[in-house]
Structure 1
């Protein structure tokens, strides 16, 4: 057996493993921050509407990834490849950079979250943005780097095991809080009007959109690893199954929280807010129990996200869309250069947390905004396929229309999310994308290929203009961090 066969054979993933990647990617720190993030914004009615909108929108995205896996089975390189196939090399490159940068911000958020959790017991960790917290996070970054460097499949198997263990405490939280259900508190929290004005229902729902999107980042996890799937159809199956499981879990966490504590008290709960709510119901031991759960959950999600981040740098390099040095593997078949770059980027953002006003929420919102780039381009490509009929040979017209409607809804939803994120985060995205264009230029130059088409040049100019505007905003203080 050749060396390539020895690495390729064990790397195959079954649908339960792919589903674990989806669930493991989504169930991380975000779920533990849901009670306070919702409590600040809305009551029960607004939360139900928010989950309905987010659930429908993300379901459309999940179905888009499922449909794309079927219509274009030849595209097995993850989310970026859809943007490239639909809108050209430079769009594909920006999709890959957006996804990668989103995982970097998300992983930095995870370490800050762990520090904030430890801050419940040790003052030196503060809100996860102290020197002690950054030092511990640094050690964690490079410990996980060493684990992943041993082999992608080994880390994926560990992720599946960790996913099982981190789901159990969340289920315990939901069951315990529902058993402690207080009808009076629940009734007052229905609109929370008795506690003060939270704004119109529309404003309340809009204020939850970033957090509901953040907790679902990772729904594309099976697509990123589609090249490892035993069967192509398992990609779509794992995506939808993982999403529906996580949606049910997250919405129950929110509703259970409103059943035991008044909305203003939920809003004032220290992050990770699930810890405070659980302690409120069961007593002091609940803080320790849930804190351990937070750390296990976050570390599992960090593992999955780091795997995806390295993969999204490695695959474009192999497809000649990024510099060739990012396509190098080590003896274990791990994309080692991409992994090193990823770990260094997380390290740099952790250093930046020492200077941010609210590192936790900044990393969360930035990660969400960056993730919208590949989501929008993938949805738009699915819409393009439906409108042009590409990939639909022999498919009934009704099925094609249905999938086109789904793609249109997913595209509209992601555009709405950009609006909900606000201009600040759109500009910050371009601040990251603008200098990244140098990698694209290097990759094209290495292969002697044309740098930009006229359309791509216009897109690059728009990104550069946005990047300059964002940088000036940061310099003058008009964009506050």
Structure 2
């Protein structure tokens, strides 16, 4: 079925690339080099690339086999595990999306602070006020119509890619093979790797994992927006194209610099790391270009991530697992109520930047942990549906996708997973309101699952209070 007024292949591909390429890529050389030498870093990309490839393949298969499930990854959870499964998946995705916006705000104001000293550090009162203005400006833009916002996003994506391409060209020109191969596996401490992690290949791989997951969040964007695509096939093609483009860009930007600067230099660079890398290679003009690119990149990604959480609550409200007010559309078919509620919450949390010294790291680590729940449900439903249809190749794809997400949950840190569980305390209140609104009673299984998650949330609160989990 074709939607003539929908978003085309190019727009959807740009949405995926723009959603993923935000702030994380501008600090990736620092984070990866601090945790791993070139060899383990390449193995990390292989592991994460395979895992996300099977997630993408699962999304495409389910999009083709179940076009009736318009809510994308959330309705897959619902079809496989009932209304509560859809709510958990959608709530976690919504939480991840707007927490990512908090991370964007911190990095954006920090980048602006390199040009305007009043915003230096990105966490003072002027920074918070301007960030809130950005938040509401983007919210109002999306409220004028999602398709028009997608057009702006498509244009902006090309501009944000330019400094990244320039970075790749420069590091290739200055690449030195002998520097790249020095301590390739990171087993020996020397001047090239001073101040970085040494040890087993597994420990180095594990150390890079959360960073690589963070930069891939958004690859499912075409699936979430699939019901607004011109055709389902274009949404599927955009998902594959976007994934391949992202993987190429990420690997080149994070790996090639090992042959241009020492590992110690890469790990010790201040954020944004790409700007400081270029400053060491070509001078201050390189850092200036990267900072300008970071500002553009963050604003455009923030636009994408303003669209995605609103779409999330709208779609799951349509499936009657959230109160219908969350899915109410204006005359331009934008989910006004959802946009406004999300913007208010972001405004409140932006003020928290005044009280924490590591707002960016905290926000993006929670965003990464939250979205793993949504991704896990995709793999599990892929397995369940393929088992029912006796499609064993597709079942295997789902198995690998699910195992990858579960491994990421374990390896990326149990503290973040527990902290995410706290968000379900108000979430289940909203879910209960939806059941009453739709004259449905909670089943025994739902009560049991909700009880288990609430117990985890109480454990998390206790560990925060006694200092075992540090929130900073």
Instruction: Indicate whether the TM-score tops 0.5.
Output: yes
Q: Deviations over 1:250-289 (max 9, x none)?
A: 0000112212211122111111111101122221111211
Distance 1:10 1:326, change over 3 A: farther
> Over the residues paired in the alignment, what is the CA RMSD in angstroms?
1.5
2:413 alignment partner in structure 1: 422
Runs of 4+ with >6 A deviation:
none
Match of 2:84 among 90, 96, 121: 90
Kindly state the Cα deviation for residue 458 of structure 1 after the two structures are TM-superposed: 1.0
Runs of 5+ unmatched residues, structure 1: 1-7, 393-399
Runs of 5+ unmatched residues, structure 2: none
Distance 1:33 1:189, change over 3 A: farther
Residue range with higher mean Cα deviation, 165-174 or 58-67: 165-174
Kindly state the Cα deviation for residue 127 of structure 1 after the two structures are TM-superposed: 3.1
Structure 1 contact 63–236 (Cα < 8 Å) conserved: no
Distance 1:120 1:182, change over 3 A: farther
The normalised TM-score by structure 2 is 0.95
2:458 counterpart of 1:464: no
SS of match in other structure, 1:215: helix
Kindly state the Cα deviation for residue 208 of structure 1 after the two structures are TM-superposed: 0.7
Q: 1: distance between equivalents of 2:426 and 2:331?
A: 32
SS of match in other structure, 1:255: helix
2:360 counterpart of 1:366: no
Structure 1 contact 11–152 (Cα < 8 Å) conserved: no
Q: Deviations over 1:364-393 (max 9, x none)?
A: 11100001011001110001111121xx7x
Q: 2: distance between equivalents of 1:199 and 1:456?
A: 44
Q: 2: distance between equivalents of 1:122 and 1:261?
A: 29
Q: 2: distance between equivalents of 1:351 and 1:190?
A: 43
Kindly state the Cα deviation for residue 10 of structure 1 after the two structures are TM-superposed: 6.4
Kindly state the Cα deviation for residue 475 of structure 1 after the two structures are TM-superposed: 2.4
Q: Deviations over 1:187-230 (max 9, x none)?
A: 32523432355221100001111111111111110111111122
Structure 2 contact 106–123 (Cα < 8 Å) conserved: yes
> Where in structure 2 are the equivalents of 1:35-434 lying within 5 Å?
35-188=29-182, 190-192=184-186, 193=188, 194=190, 195=193, 198-389=198-389, 400-434=391-425
Alignment: residue pair count = 464
Q: 2: distance between equivalents of 1:420 and 1:128?
A: 30
2:470 counterpart of 1:480: yes
Kindly state the Cα deviation for residue 69 of structure 1 after the two structures are TM-superposed: 0.7
Structure 1 contact 10–153 (Cα < 8 Å) conserved: no
Q: 1: distance between equivalents of 2:154 and 2:115?
A: 29
1:396 alignment partner in structure 2: none
Match of 1:438 among 424, 429, 432: 429
Kindly state the Cα deviation for residue 9 of structure 1 after the two structures are TM-superposed: 6.3
Match of 2:438 among 420, 423, 447: 447
Structure 1 contact 31–250 (Cα < 8 Å) conserved: yes
Q: 2: distance between equivalents of 1:128 and 1:263?
A: 27
Structure 1 contact 189–263 (Cα < 8 Å) conserved: no
Residue range with higher mean Cα deviation, 452-461 or 180-189: 180-189
Kindly state the Cα deviation for residue 11 of structure 1 after the two structures are TM-superposed: 4.1
2:11 alignment partner in structure 1: 17
Structure 2 contact 276–287 (Cα < 8 Å) conserved: yes
Kindly state the Cα deviation for residue 409 of structure 1 after the two structures are TM-superposed: 0.3
Q: 1: distance between equivalents of 2:231 and 2:82?
A: 28
Q: 1: distance between equivalents of 2:121 and 2:185?
A: 30
SS of match in other structure, 2:27: helix
Residue range with higher mean Cα deviation, 441-450 or 92-101: 441-450
The normalised TM-score by structure 1 is 0.93
Kindly state the Cα deviation for residue 122 of structure 1 after the two structures are TM-superposed: 4.2
Residue range with higher mean Cα deviation, 364-373 or 233-242: 233-242
Kindly state the Cα deviation for residue 183 of structure 1 after the two structures are TM-superposed: 3.1
Residue range with higher mean Cα deviation, 287-296 or 113-122: 113-122
Kindly state the Cα deviation for residue 136 of structure 1 after the two structures are TM-superposed: 1.6
Q: 2: distance between equivalents of 1:127 and 1:246?
A: 29
Q: 2: distance between equivalents of 1:213 and 1:418?
A: 11
Q: 1: distance between equivalents of 2:4 and 2:345?
A: 29
1:4 alignment partner in structure 2: none
Q: Deviations over 1:404-432 (max 9, x none)?
A: 11110000000000001222111111011
Q: Deviations over 1:114-166 (max 9, x none)?
A: 12222334444343222222122111111111211111110011111111111
Residue range with higher mean Cα deviation, 59-68 or 13-22: 13-22
